A = this chain, B = another copy of it.
Amino acid sequence: MKYAIGLDYGTNSVRCLIVDVADGRELGTCVYGYETGEAGIILDSADHNLARQNPADYLKGVEVTVAGAVAEAKQAEPTFDPKAIVGIGVDTTGSTPLPVDKTGTPLALLDAFKNNPNAHAWLWKDHTGYAEAAEITELAAKDRPEYLAKCGGTYSSEWFLSKILHCLRVDPDVFDAAYTWVEHADWLPAVLTGTDAPETLRRCRCAAGHKAMFNDDWGGYPDAEFLGKLDPKLGQLRQTLSDQTFAVDEAAGNLTDEWASKLGLTAGIPVAMGAFDAHLGAVGSGIKEGVLVKIIGTSTCDMVVAPSSSKLPDIPGICGIVDGSILPGFYGLEAGQSAVGDIFNWFVNYIQPGGKEAGSHESLTTKAAQLKPGQSGLLALDWNNGNRTILVDQRLTGLLLGQTLHTRPEEIYRALVEATAFGALTIINRFAEYGVDIAEVVNCGGISEKNAMLMQIYADVTGREMKISRSAQTCALGSAIAAAVVGGAYADFGAAQTAMCGIKETTFKPIPENHQVYQRLYKLYRQLHDGFGLRDDAIAMGNVMKELLDIKEKANA
C-alpha cells in the first residue's frame, strides 16, 4: 500500500488529507483554523481592503493537521503506516506573497516586525494595492502590452506586484528589510524541504505565471527596466526573482530530517512544487481538455486546460493563460468570480433579513427554491466584491433592480444566486468566444455539494449539465495527486487522475422552460453588466425595468 499527503491552505484554515494512491480513497483528514486575527485574517477596521495572515499559523498548521490526519487514518485502517506515505503535495491561496529576509525567514516571524501587518502574508483578497494595480496596468499598456495580454488586459490589486509596490509606498521600512517576496505556495514546500533560502528557493509556474506576469516569451518575470519605472527599488527587486519556474510534476525538494521526525514521516520523501488551491482543486476534480472545473466557495475559480501544442489567442478578461500552471503539458486558463458564497453570506450575516431563523441560508434557500425563474421581477449584479472575470475590476459594486413594496428576502436571495449564475455564464461564453470550447462542467467546493437549488439554477442559466466532483476536498486531493506523481506512484497526472478522481452520481440537468426564461434575463444582465462595467461603451438602459416586468408577468401567469 502507498499513500500520499495533500496539504490544502485555505483562507481561514489548513487541511491535511491522507489518501490511498491506488484509488484516491480518503483515510484521514484534519483541519486547523489559523489563530491570528479574525477567523485567521488580520483585518483593519479603518480599511476594508486590508487582509493579512501570520506565517506562524501556516507552520503550526502542518504539525497539527498531519498528526491529526495520521491518527484518523490509523483508526480507520489499523494497518496504515505513515512511513508508507510516498510524497507531500501543497496548495495555498494566492496571490499571497510574504516578505522574507536574506535567509528566507518571513519578516513577520522577526521580533522587529511581528506586530506590523505589512510584514505578514498579504492574503489573496487584500485589495490595498488597487491604485498600484492601476499604475502597473497603465504603464504596461504603454510600454509592455504583451504583459497585459496574457493576464486578461488588466493587472489586479490582488496580485503579487501590486501588493509589493503598495508596501514600498506605504511602509518603506518593511520593503527595505525584505530581501525578496515569496508566494505562500512557494514558501511552504521550501520550508519542509530546507530550500527556503533565496538562492535555493524554487518558484512555482502557477503563481508566477498567473499573478506576476512571468512568461518564457520575455525571459520570465517583468524586466528590471519596466519595474524600475514603477519605482527604482522595485527594479532592484527584480534580481531576486528567479528566471526559472516549476510545474507541479516536479519536486521542490525532499523532506528534511527535522520535519520528518516532527511529523513521523519518512525523511527524504519528495514534496511537490506548490500551486494555488484552485489549480490543484481542478486536478482533483479530474480536469482535462474540454472540462471546465468550477470551484465554488466564497468566490469561484473557473479553470480550463488546452494542450501546450495548441495555438491559443489571448483572451480579454481571463486572469491568465500559463503553460503548465494546472497540468504539465497544458496551458492552464484561469477565470473567476470575486464573490459568490460571500454575497450570500453578506445578505445573511450583514443584512440579516427576517431575523436569525427566517434569515438563515437554509430557510432562504427553501423558500427561494419554490420561486419560478423571473417571477420576482428582480435582477442583480454579482459585484459586491468587484468583478474578476471578464471585467477585471475589483472596484465595481453590487446592484439590485426590480424591488417593489412586496419584495421579500427569499426573492432577493434567489436574485443574488441567479446573478452569480449569470456571472458564471459570462465566463463560459468568453472562453467559447475565443475558441476554447467547454464540453463538460465539473463543480466542486462546499456550495456545489450543499445547495441543490444553486446547482439547478446554474444548469438552467447556462443550459449545461452541472456535475459535482466526488471528493469533498478536491484541493487537498489534487495536492495528494501531485504527491503521488512526484512520489513515483504514477508516470503522469492523467494516469493518476483516472485512478484517483470521480464524479458524484447526482447531476443537475437544465430544464428547458427555465432556460428559456433565463435566456431573456441574461440579455438584461448583460445590458447592466456592460452598461455599468465598461468605461466607454455605455449601453441604453431605458428598457431594462420594463422588460423585467414582462418576464415577471409571464412567470406569474
Contacts and interface: CB of A to CB of B under 8 A. Distances in A.
Interface centre among A345, A350, A403 (most CB of B within 10 A): A403
A339 to B, nearest CB: 6
A535 interface: yes
A535 B534 CA distance: 22
A14 to B, nearest CB: 23
Given A351-B353, A399-B399, A538-B540, A405 B531 contact: no
Given A377-B397, A402-B397, A352 B353 contact: yes
A396 B351 contact: no
A395 interface: yes
Interface in A350-404: 350-356, 358-359, 377, 384-385, 395-404
Interface in A315-340: 339
A125 to B, nearest CB: 10
A292 B542 CA distance: 31
Given A351-B353, A355-B356, A398 B403 contact: yes
Contact of A403 (B395, B397, B407, B546): B397
A537 interface: yes
A160 to B, nearest CB: 23
A4 interface: no
Contacts of A531: 540-542
A532 interface: yes
B409 A351 contact: yes
Interface in A219-267: none
Given A531-B542, A539-B541, A541-B541, A403 B405 contact: no
A343 interface: yes
A400 B400 contact: yes
Contacts of A396: 545
A346 B407 contact: yes
A542 B530 CA distance: 8
Interface string A410-427: 001000000000000000
A123 to B, nearest CB: 14
A408 interface: yes
A300 to B, nearest CB: 15
A541 B545 contact: no
A342 interface: yes
B549 A541 contact: no
Given A343-B405, A352-B355, A541-B538, A399 B398 contact: no
Contacts of A540: 531, 538
A542 B548 contact: no
Interface of A: 48, 339, 342-343, 345-346, 350-356, 358-359, 377, 384-385, 395-409, 412, 531-546, 548-549
Q: Which 6 pairs show the lowest CB-CB distances between chains A and B?
A: A538-B540, A398-B403, A531-B541, A355-B355, A538-B542, A352-B354
23 contacts: A48-B404, A48-B406, A342-B405, A343-B405, A346-B403, A350-B408, A351-B408, A351-B409, A352-B354, A355-B355, A384-B403, A397-B403, A397-B404, A397-B545, A399-B402, A399-B403, A400-B403, A532-B542, A535-B546, A538-B539, A538-B540, A538-B541, A538-B543
Given A531-B541, A538-B540, 10 more contacts: A346-B403, A346-B405, A351-B354, A351-B409, A395-B549, A396-B545, A397-B548, A398-B402, A534-B542, A541-B541
